[in-house]
Amino acid sequence: MKFKLILLFLFFISILTLPSFSITQSDDPNRVYKVAIIPFMIHSQENLDYLREGINDILTSRITEERVVLIERSIVERALYDEKPMRHDETVAKKIGMRIGVDYIVLGSITKIRDYVSLDACLISVAEEKPPVTVYIQQKSIDDLMVKISDFAQDIGYKILGSRTMAGQPDEPRHPFITRAFTVERIKYGDVLKVYIEAEDPDGGMFRIATVVDQAGYGRYPISWVYLKPTDRKHFKGYLQWNTFSSKTSIITEGTPITLTVCVFDKSGKRSNPFTFPITFESGVKRASSYQVPSPFDQKDVKKLGSVDIELMDLTLLPR
């Protein structure tokens, strides 16, 4: 109840105190940008739907100004309904953006691991060939996170308008960033799955990789950690190997869906942008090793980073 009151208070304050963005680098000072926010993904054992709704409302109110127009949420949801994407990634975001006619798509996620809560967004240019830009915050509680939402929204606004950080504000915090990731989405139970990752950190502080598996009807399994070698802490390109056979079950029911999420942490606990993959167990698919791996993971310098230590359960075998 306390948090919901804080959220409501912040929402009304945000409406009353809309800032004027500093515009110093825009090619056309009169250009108006159309922006759409795709509902943020949630990575948590808790139901954080209310948090997603509150964050969406605050971002909408804080990003909107005379040169940035937010597309109505109903239009975005209709486009998502029509497309029915299996996952939310850059390719899907651009497709949705072209469908509804916007300049930028904001794609993001909310992650809660133990007491820590993080919010990250990826600003994706739809019409122009620009690399995605990330905005990220992490706090020790939901209340602390909400206090920082205004700064988070302002940062997105600055990046849309192409302006630098305002004078007097600290530089954007640096943290690990996953540039590419790939794995197959359909696999036979007992097959060996490789999850390919390329990541970087200008500070050379990358320390360990987290793999999280969520199974429909079961929930989240304990996190599997892989610790990086010192030579991999500034940049690495490799794969995590997961033998999906489990000593806890001889079968996995046909069509069982899971989601597998990977992210990188540095020594101070700062987390990278997560990559989430939907995976389905199907007996009739070809082996994971026979799929063509996209660039840059098809090169010879891709190495094994470690193994995923997660053993699945089959819900049909659990006692009722």
pLDDT for 167: 32
Same domain? 41 vs 66: yes
Of 103, 130, 161, which closes a domain? 161
Domain identity same for 294 and 234: yes
Q: Are 42 and 48 in contact (CB under 8 A)?
A: yes
Residue 201 inside a domain? The answer is yes
**Is 23 contained in some domain?**
no
DSSP 8-state class, residue 30: T
Boundary (domain end) residue, out of 161, 195, 216: 161
| Per-residue confidence (pLDDT) for residue 317, from 0 to 100 | 57
The total number of structural domains in the chain stands at: 2
Distances in Å between the alpha carbon of 117 and those of 109, 139, 242, 316?
11, 5, 27, 33
Q: Check whether residue 119 and residue 185 sit in a common domain.
A: no
Is there a single domain that holds both residue 186 and residue 311? yes
CB–CB of 244/190 below 8 Å?
yes
> Which amino acid, residue 134?
T
Q: Are residues 196 and 304 in the same domain?
A: yes
Task: Please report whether residue 172 resides in a domain.
Answer: no
pLDDT tens for the chain, 320 residues: list them: 544 444 444 444 343 333 333 333 445 667 888 898 888 888 777 888 888 888 888 787 777 667 888 888 889 888 888 888 777 777 888 888 899 999 999 888 888 776 778 887 888 888 887 777 777 777 778 887 787 777 788 778 877 876 533 333 444 446 788 888 899 989 999 999 999 999 999 889 999 999 999 887 778 888 899 999 999 999 999 999 999 999 989 889 999 989 898 999 988 888 888 888 889 999 989 998 888 888 889 888 899 999 999 999 887 655 54
- Answer whether residue 1 is part of any domain: no
Co-location of 12 and 145 in the same domain = yes
CATH number at residue 91: 3.40.50.10610
Residue 14: name the closest of 163, 146, 167 by CA.
146
Please report the pLDDT score of residue 136 as a whole number.
74
What predicted TM-score, i.e. pTM, was given to this entire model? 0.53
90 lies in the same domain as 232: no
pLDDT at 308: 96
- Is residue 167 one of the residues assigned to a domain? no
The verdict on 247 and 147 lying in the same domain is no
Does residue 87 belong to any structural domain of this protein?
Answer: yes
Same structural domain for residues 261 and 209?
yes
Residues 6+ apart with CB under 8 A from 231: none
Residues 116 and 191 in one domain: no
21 is a domain residue: no
**Domain shared by 145 and 12, yes or no:** yes
Domain range enclosing 244 = 177-317
Q: What is the DSSP string of 130-167?
A: ---EEEEEEESSHHHHHHTHHHHHHHHHHHHHTPPPPT
Tell me what pLDDT residue 68 has: 84
What does the angle CA 14 – CA 123 – CA 296 come to, to the nearest 5 degrees?
Answer: 155
User: Nearest Cα to 192, choosing from 238, 244, 239?
Assistant: 244
Give a yes or no: residue 22 inside a domain: no
What is the C-alpha to C-alpha distance for residues 199 and 232, in angstroms, rounded to an integer? 9
Of the three residues 128, 161, 194, the one that is the final residue of a domain is 161
pLDDT, residue 138, reads 75
